Structure 1
């Protein structure tokens, strides 16, 4: 039986990828980059006016630290609830919570550091296309 030996790793990544949510992410810590078995962490940059697709993360929690800018987020059943996250704020999103984040500025980018209990990051993403048009 072969065992995988995990060790400490530094990830210096300029690699970006487009998530199912329609936003670009900088590759960070994940199963794919480090062999992580219980979490992922990456950087998300929202261009001016960018809006994600409505989605949720099945069975996985998300923690966010806002580094720059302001992001609004519709969330909850029918995306009826709303909050604003500003630079210096932390945001917690419970597992299975529908949400739709967007950059509130039409001229400045917003940058956030995200951590999730899904080491594969995109695996638990479930798009909710019926909710995309709720807040145009």
Structure 2
């Protein structure tokens, strides 16, 4: 698909997945690479039971999450000292530069829609390996 052509509406069917730097697989969605977006990306993420992301932050963009099903535990903030459980039907906001690590501690998958203000999904992802061991 030529995403550099004249701007127009585009339909994306999330059939393909890609491995994110965070260690999870995302369903391909709205991004600069797929539709030529310039200020937003939106993907679907399913975290399998017992799986978790690598500790990371997005240094230059905001993240908005809508939990479709299940629940995700997220540790965030300095030293990942803060913790929240995001349940189906809830929204969660992550500002730029805030370290975080989501995990699915349940026996069923959890699925979320994730939107970010960076159209390039992986551009401002910064892995924080020194924080991975903070969360068991």
Give the drift of 1:104.
2.1
Give the drift of 1:59.
1.1
Matched, 1:54 2:38: no
Q: Which residue of 1 aligns with 2:117?
A: 117
* Number of residue pairs matched by the alignment: 133
Within 5 Å, which residues of 2 pair with 1:2-17? 4-17=5-18
Give the drift of 1:4.
4.7
SS of 1:95's partner is coil
Within 5 Å, which residues of 2 pair with 1:57-76? 57-76=58-77
Q: Give every structure 1 segment of 4 or more consecutive aligned residues whose post-TM-superposition deviation is greater than 6 Å.
A: none
Within 5 Å, which residues of 2 pair with 1:1-136? 4-105=5-106, 107-136=107-136
Give the drift of 1:58.
1.1
Q: TM-score, normalised by structure 1?
A: 0.95
Give the drift of 1:13.
2.7
Q: CA RMSD in A?
A: 1.0
SS of 1:9's partner is coil
Deviation per CA, 1:92-124: give whole Å up to 9, x if none. 00001000000020x200000000001001111
Q: Distance in 2 between matches of 1:88 and 1:104?
A: 18
Deviation per CA, 1:16-52: give whole Å up to 9, x if none. 0010000010000000000000000000000001110
Q: Distance in 2 between matches of 1:12 and 1:87?
A: 22
